[in-house]
Amino acid sequence: MANKSMPPTLLEAGWYLSYMNYAATGEGLRSCLAVAGTAEAAERILKEKLPEYFHRGIVTTPIDADAGEDVKAMIQWIPLAASEILRQIPPGAGHYFTEIHYNLS
């Protein structure tokens, strides 16, 4: 019988996260994140999707067990279905992007 190894968790799979949070009175909160196989790819995805004004607020970091609290909070915005797919494919074989906007006014 073949030994089927379990795919790594998302924190072990070698992905990178780029995110940007922007809050302004009257405009609400805008959060965007991209997950890709390299830091450069994750950041490039965000820069392609966002106006240049937001580029200075982009943070890029590896997704790993040493992630800080801010990064862990952003990782929670990755839906379980997307997380499951990402952990089963090699980094670089795909990416994930989402944009969330809350207008609390």
Query: What's this model's pTM, rounded to 2 decimal places?
Result: 0.84
CA pair distance 41, 104, nearest whole angstrom = 32
Which pLDDT score, from 0 to 100, does residue 3 have? 45
Which pLDDT score, from 0 to 100, does residue 10 have? 75
CA proximity to 51, closest of 67, 65, 36, 32: 32
pLDDT average per 10 residues of sequence, the chain (105 residues): 59 88 87 94 96 94 88 90 87 89 79
Domain ranges of the chain: 16-94
Residue entry with tokens 């929670």: 76
